Homo-oligomer: A and B are copies of this chain.
Amino acid sequence: MTVTLRDVARAADVSIATASRALAGSSLTNHATQKHVIQVAAALGYRTNTFARALKTKRSRLIGLTVHNLENASFQVLASVVQTRMQALGYQVILSISADDPEQERNIFKTLVDHSVDGLIAVPNGANGAQLLAMEHADIPVICAVRRVEGATLESVLAGDLDGAYAGTKHLLDLGHRRIGLIVGMSDTTSGKERLAGYKRALQEAGLPIDPTLIQAGRYAPETGVVAANALLSMPGPPSALFVANHESSLGVLRVVSERGLSIPDDLSLLFYEDSPWFEWQRPAISVVDSGAAEMANLAVDRLVQRLSGVANSGREYRVGSRLIQRASCRAVEAH
């Protein structure tokens, strides 16, 4: 039924080994033979059996991609870019969604190893570093994207979160805001920690005290936004600006703003983190610290491709600079 290499060899009147070589375009020089074999193979509709090949060569031409979810705009971009570019290079990508859950992630990695992926691009949870290191040890290159694993010598492509949060906070400060609410990720994540640090640095540089009640850290989820925004906005001396450095929570914040009938930026200035196409066409358009998702994705692919071609693990961290994009959701206020 399916046509095998043997059929091709027979039809082309060469040995099975020659057929294999011809199709692989290897050290073989005889153009005539090669051309002939290729032609015959095409005529027969031959397609090489990926399993037989993988069983022999131990490479699958499959790569793994793990993200927390597909709601986050950065992860959407990552998934699109990785799949499109790797496909063009002859790799297929196995997509997995970890929900940022250590145990699910553990299973995912195990399964990916079972499927002998040739490489992995992962937005890691942070708790399964040993497993990732074991993959590297087994010669499966791993590139961490967006998040990294503390203490593991893994190549990581990250955003310039500290600088980004600093720039965002400074922007708000320059506009005259003095009480700036921060909604951020948990401090057990790279981005949560760094963005918080950037916020604090900007405040300190401005000689302002850090008011812990103005800082709300939570999971990367919409609910975090509603809880945090409500807490912040219900304070006795509520902030005049909200810096939402927790992308998933943006939706929740928008909801609270809407429910409270707040007018942006008159009643409240809003600055988000990680751009999304929707932010630009909100009314008003929402200013944002863009973390460069597409650039990170491309860099991650570049690194993986390098590693796949044999380059050793640099163990290095790459950073893509953040950019403040001013739109219409932040207004200047009288400093008091």
Taking Cβ atoms with an 8 Å cutoff, the residues of A that contact B are: 47-52, 54-55, 60, 62, 65, 69-71, 76, 79-80, 83-84, 87, 92-97, 108, 110-116, 222, 251, 254-255, 258, 264, 276-278, 280-283, 285
Contact = CB atoms under 8 A, between A and B. Distances in A.
B79 A71 contact: no
Which residue among A110, A277, A280 has the maximum number of chain B CB atoms within 10 Å of its CB? A277
Contacts of A79: 70, 79, 95
Contacts of A55: 49, 51-52, 55
B70 A80 contact: yes
Nearest to A263: B283
A75 to B, nearest CB: 9
B278 A258 contact: no
Nearest to A94: B92
A49 B83 CA distance: 25
Contacts of A50: 114-116
A293 B297 CA distance: 27
Given A80-B97, A92-B96, 9 more contacts: A51-B55, A52-B55, A79-B95, A83-B95, A84-B97, A93-B94, A93-B95, A251-B278, A251-B281
A285 B259 CA distance: 11
Nearest to A107: B87
Nearest to A53: B51
A112 to B, nearest CB: 8
Nearest to A259: B281
B251 A47 contact: no
A285 B60 CA distance: 47
A204 to B, nearest CB: 33
B92 A87 contact: no
A255 to B, nearest CB: 5
Contacts of A84: 97
Which residue among A51, A70, A283 has the maximum number of chain B CB atoms within 10 Å of its CB? A51
A65 B60 CA distance: 18
B60 A51 contact: yes
A114 B48 contact: yes
Nearest to A253: B281
Nearest to A93: B95
Contacts of A80: 69-70, 97
